[in-house]
């Protein structure tokens, strides 16, 4: 009886320990892109230290990279995987570039990158909405 | 007197109101033709841990032999030394002489007082 | 006049000592993800805390026992040992989170990673306990925590829709993220209703030599101090809802939380956040270290007091020394304090029955409280808290896995 209960509990926990869905992964990526955007905004206003801003952008970039890798292993059905990969790689590259521009203290170029990032974010958000509506 | 409610696990203080630990156990004498009576209070050592499980008592004994004041067994204080019971149990003894605070003194001397600021200073 | 000053100080230190990494992280997550929809959890947690804090103070003022003393004496050593293990394990995790919070605050200010700060931070916490008195810790550090009032300023400056915010004070079942919603609600409650606060508060009442005449003061401090503290948590949630939610930020790391006040307070927001978290976590780390040490010392009948020199209560001092030393270890190895925070908050909720059930018995025991026993209101509230905490205990761990 005790073994049976443990087995049932293990099955429940195993089922509960499901990996995140593609929609959840994309939400997480969008969260980190949003973080990068907000860090970009506040850095341009000179309200946060350079070190913190650069490190947070680097963290955003690496986290987006990690989640993208997992997402592309089992991509959502009915989505152009190549286009998704390209969009994610581009976003990541932009955030990494923004981090280096902080070190160079190049605000004008930084602002241009930030604008591009916002555009990419919108495209990824539309993609995320498409995936969610299909689920 | 309800021994469990009024004595067991209560705080112990000596005649100077110095804390001495808690009543961790009671020793009773059972006579063939007489009422059972409490003979001693026990403090610390394996008495306390035996209330959980003998494994813990054995570990406590091992620890006591390897480290600290190397006291064998629990401290026993005759029941005749009890002055009052109530919120705490007051004993007609001096804490230092009973062995009840040997660990406190040992840790103070061997560890605490060796750290700067740990020694004898004016109390706040 | 003296009593008025004591009330004022009590309220001020309650406010200053209210926020810590758990309450800020959970409230910020709630606001960033669900807007105002979890304000009810903060409200419920605060109400629960008001009752528990008032009871803790009343218990010690009347009985001249701490809660730990009475738990051992009333329920015996074996039951006490179970409570000890449960409470100390969870409190220890929270301590790791708080020390980590101090380290993370220094990380965002200096750029140097929090693992490097683990040892110096732990040393400072230990030194304050070694050399400090109860007054210094309770009052001094808590007064520094008043800087957290900046969260209220930030929330007000963002011009929230107060009507919409008021709507969040009523529970609602979130549509598509039920598991996450439930988990964050559980964590908010766990962050608010922390048993270590009860043990710390009751020990403080003994350290400060409270008696029956302090009951009214205790009531005022509990109600106003904890209420204002609850407003601080709500302010964090509202600020996150207005500043972070528009960016779609779901807080997973401290670096994201650090952006909380940069919209409302452009010039100082970032630094105020870092400094607020630094002092808030410092105060909490000291309280938890003391609470754990009090638990051991009071339970085993050792000498204990923050006002004694260390050699006079050597086992008490050795306990907090060892605890702080061990708590630094996971941080040195880079364990994420935010993850530890979220897990420990849920575990706190899961172990609440272990702390509150015996406490309810004590609050109704005439031997300890005489005519100052709980009335039906306090008993009802505590009974409801036990019910909520039991439900939380059953659902929080699976939610941890699904939602986390």
Residue C348 near residue C190, CB atoms below 8 Å: yes
DSSP state of A20: P
Contact residues, chain C, for A16 at CB < 8 Å: 398, 401-402
- The yes-or-no verdict on residue A19 having pLDDT over 80 is no
Angle at C107 between CA A70 and CA C338, to 5 degrees: 50
Any domain includes A113: yes
Question: Quick check: do B and A touch, 3+ CB pairs under 8 A?
Answer: no
Across the interface, of C72, C80, C314, the residue whose CB is closest to B107 is C314
The pLDDT value recorded for residue B32 is 81
Size of interface B-C (CB pairs under 8 A): 78
Across the interface, of B12, B52, B122, the residue whose CB is closest to C301 is B12
Query: Is A51 close to C110, i.e. CB distance below 8 A?
Result: yes
Question: Is A30's Cβ below 8 Å from some Cβ in C?
Answer: yes
Predicted confidence (pLDDT) per residue in C241-272, tens digit = 999 999 999 999 999 999 999 999 999 999 99
Domain of C33 in residue numbering reads as 2-403
Q: Tell me the pLDDT band of A4, cut-offs 50, 70 and 90.
A: low
Query: Is C76 close to B4, i.e. CB distance below 8 A?
Result: yes
Any domain includes B102: yes
Could you give the CA distance from residue C286 to residue C17 in angstroms, rounded to a whole number?
11
Per-residue pLDDT, averaged over C126-131, amounts to 93
Predicted confidence (pLDDT) per residue in A59-77, tens digit = 999 999 999 999 988 887 7
Q: Tell me the pLDDT band of C303, cut-offs 50, 70 and 90.
A: confident
Contact residues, chain A, for C402 at CB < 8 Å: 16, 18
DSSP state of A40: H
The pLDDT value recorded for residue A135 is 64
Per-residue pLDDT, averaged over C108-113, amounts to 95
- A14, exposed or middle or buried, with CB in 10 Å at 0-12, 13-18, 19+? exposed
- The yes-or-no verdict on residue C188 having pLDDT over 70 is yes
**pTM above the 0.90 mark?**
yes
> What CATH number corresponds to the domain at position B25?
2.30.30.240
Query: Is B118 close to C130, i.e. CB distance below 8 A?
Result: yes
The pLDDT value recorded for residue A15 is 46
Q: Tell me the pLDDT band of B123, cut-offs 50, 70 and 90.
A: very low
Domain of A119 in residue numbering reads as 20-134
Number of domains in chain C: 1
The pLDDT value recorded for residue C400 is 64
Q: Tell me the pLDDT band of B122, cut-offs 50, 70 and 90.
A: very low
Across the interface, of C65, C72, C302, the residue whose CB is closest to B104 is C302
Q: Tell me the pLDDT band of C385, cut-offs 50, 70 and 90.
A: confident
Any domain includes A12: no
- The yes-or-no verdict on residue B72 having pLDDT over 70 is no
User: Which of C220-237 are b and which e, b meaning 16 or more Cβ less than 10 Å from the residue's Cβ?
Assistant: bbbbbbbbbbbbbbbbbb
Question: Which of C303, C310, C355 has the alpha carbon at shortest distance from B11?
Answer: C303
Give the closest-approach CA distance of A57 to chain C in angstroms. 10
Supply the DSSP string of C6-75, one letter for each residue.
HHHHHHHHHHHTT--HHHHHHHHHHHHHHTTTTHHHHHHHHHHHHHHHHHHHHHHHHHS--HHHHHHHHH
Any domain includes A29: yes
Number of domains in chain A: 1
- The yes-or-no verdict on residue A131 having pLDDT over 50 is yes
Per-residue pLDDT, averaged over B6-23, amounts to 91
Which of the pair, C389 or C209, is modelled with greater confidence?
C209
Give the H/E segment covering residue B21: strand B19-22
Give the closest-approach CA distance of A65 to chain C in angstroms. 16
Question: Is C211's Cβ below 8 Å from some Cβ in A?
Answer: no
Please name the residues in contact with C59: beta carbons below 8 A apart, sequence gap of 6 or more.
C65, C67, C70, C202, C362, C363, C368, C369
- The yes-or-no verdict on residue B38 having pLDDT over 80 is yes
Across the interface, of C252, C269, C402, the residue whose CB is closest to A47 is C269
The pLDDT value recorded for residue A5 is 54
Across the interface, of C110, C248, C255, the residue whose CB is closest to A56 is C255
Contact residues, chain C, for A48 at CB < 8 Å: 262, 270
- C205, exposed or middle or buried, with CB in 10 Å at 0-12, 13-18, 19+? buried
Across the interface, of C247, C262, C402, the residue whose CB is closest to A47 is C262
Least reliable range by pLDDT among A15-19, B24-28, B44-48, C252-256 = A15-19
Contact residues, chain B, for C325 at CB < 8 Å: none
Any domain includes B80: yes
The pLDDT value recorded for residue A106 is 93
Residue C288 near residue C141, CB atoms below 8 Å: no
* Alpha-helix runs per DSSP H in C158-308: 162-167, 178-192, 195-207, 215-220, 226-243, 254-257, 269-300
The pLDDT value recorded for residue A16 is 47
Number of domains in chain B: 1
Positive/negative CA dihedral, C389, C394, C396, C399 = negative
The pLDDT value recorded for residue A3 is 52
Per-residue pLDDT, averaged over A105-114, amounts to 95
Domain of B51 in residue numbering reads as 3-114
Question: Is A17's Cβ below 8 Å from some Cβ in C?
Answer: yes
The pLDDT value recorded for residue C403 is 60
The pLDDT value recorded for residue A98 is 96
Any domain includes B26: yes
Any domain includes A75: yes
The pLDDT value recorded for residue C175 is 65
Predicted confidence (pLDDT) per residue in C20-79, tens digit = 999 999 999 999 999 999 999 999 999 999 999 999 999 999 999 999 999 999 999 999
Query: Is C247 close to A35, i.e. CB distance below 8 A?
Result: yes
> What CATH number corresponds to the domain at position C336?
1.20.1740.10
Which of the pair, A106 or C182, is modelled with greater confidence?
A106
Q: Which of B103-112, C140-149, C325-334 has the highest mean pLDDT?
A: C325-334
Question: Quick check: do C and A touch, 3+ CB pairs under 8 A?
Answer: yes
């Amino acid at each position: 009886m005790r073994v049976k209960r443990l087995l049932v509990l293990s099955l429940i926990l195993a089922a509960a320990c499901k990996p995140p869905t593609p929609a959840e992964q994309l939400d997480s990526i969008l969260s980190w892109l949003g973080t990068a955007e907000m860090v970009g905004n506040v850095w341009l206003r000179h309200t946060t230290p350079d070190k913190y801003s650069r490190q947070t952008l680097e963290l955003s970039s690496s986290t987006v990279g990690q989640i993208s890798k997992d997402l592309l292993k089992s991509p959502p059905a009915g989505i152009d995987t190549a286009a998704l990969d390209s969009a994610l790689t581009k976003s990541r590259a932009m955030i990494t570039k923004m981090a280096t521009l902080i070190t160079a203290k190049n605000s004008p170029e930084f602002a241009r990158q930030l604008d591009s990032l916002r555009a990419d974010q919108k495209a990824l958000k539309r993609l995320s909405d498409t995936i969610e509506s299909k689920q | 007197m309800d021994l469990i409610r009024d004595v067991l696990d209560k705080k112990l203080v000596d005649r100077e109101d110095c804390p001495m630990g808690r009543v961790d156990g009671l020793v009773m004498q059972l006579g063939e033709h007489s009422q059972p009576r409490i003979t001693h209070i026990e403090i610390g050592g394996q008495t306390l841990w035996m209330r959980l499980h003998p494994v813990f008592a054995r570990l406590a004994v091992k620890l006591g032999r390897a480290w600290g004041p190397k006291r064998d067994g629990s401290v026993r204080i005759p029941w005749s030394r009890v002055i009052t019971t109530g919120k705490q149990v007051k004993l007609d003894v001096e804490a230092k002489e009973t062995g009840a605070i040997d660990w406190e003194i040992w840790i103070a001397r061997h560890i605490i007082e060796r750290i700067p600021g740990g020694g004898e200073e004016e109390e706040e | 006049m003296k009593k008025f000053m004591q009330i004022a100080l009590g309220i001020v230190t309650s406010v200053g000592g209210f926020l810590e990494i758990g309450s800020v992280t959970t409230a910020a997550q709630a606001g960033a993800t669900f807007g105002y929809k979890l304000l009810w959890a903060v409200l419920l947690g605060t109400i629960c805390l008001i009752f528990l804090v008032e009871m803790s103070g009343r218990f010690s003022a009347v009985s001249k026992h701490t809660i730990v003393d009475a738990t051992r004496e009333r329920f015996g050593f074996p039951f006490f040992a179970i409570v000890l293990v449960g409470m100390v394990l969870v409190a220890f995790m929270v301590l790791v989170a708080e020390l980590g919070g101090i380290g993370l605050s220094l990380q965002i200010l200096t750029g140097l990673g929090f693992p490097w700060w683990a040892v110096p931070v732990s040393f400072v916490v230990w030194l304050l306990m070694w050399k400090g008195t109860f007054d210094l810790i309770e009052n001094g550090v808590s007064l520094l925590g008043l800087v957290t009032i900046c969260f209220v300023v930030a929330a007000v400056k963002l011009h929230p829709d107060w009507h919409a915010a008021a709507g969040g004070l009523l529970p609602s079942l979130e549509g598509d993220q039920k598991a996450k919603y439930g988990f964050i609600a559980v964590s908010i409650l766990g962050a608010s209703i922390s048993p270590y606060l009860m043990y710390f508060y009751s020990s403080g009442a003994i350290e400060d030599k409270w008696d029956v005449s302090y009951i009214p003061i205790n009531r005022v401090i509990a109600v106003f101090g904890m209420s204002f503290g609850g407003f601080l948590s709500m302010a964090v949630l509202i600020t996150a809802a207005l500043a972070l939610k528009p960016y779609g930020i779901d807080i997973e790391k401290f670096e994201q939380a650090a952006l909380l006040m940069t919209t409302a307070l452009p010039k100082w927001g970032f630094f105020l956040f870092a400094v607020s978290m630094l002092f808030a976590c410092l105060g909490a780390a000291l309280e938890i270290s003391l609470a754990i040490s009090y638990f051991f010392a009071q339970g085993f009948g050792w000498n204990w007091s923050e006002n004694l020199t260390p050699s006079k209560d050597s086992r008490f001092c050795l306990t907090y020394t060892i605890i702080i030393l061990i708590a630094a270890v996971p941080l040195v190895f880079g364990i994420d304090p935010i993850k530890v925070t979220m897990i420990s908050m849920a575990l706190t909720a899961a172990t609440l029955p272990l702390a509150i059930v015996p406490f309810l018995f004590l609050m109704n025991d005439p031997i300890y409280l005489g005519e100052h026993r709980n009335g039906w209101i306090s008993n009802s509230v505590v009974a409801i808290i036990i019910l909520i905490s039991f439900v939380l205990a059953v659902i929080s761990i699976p939610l941890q896995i699904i939602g986390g």
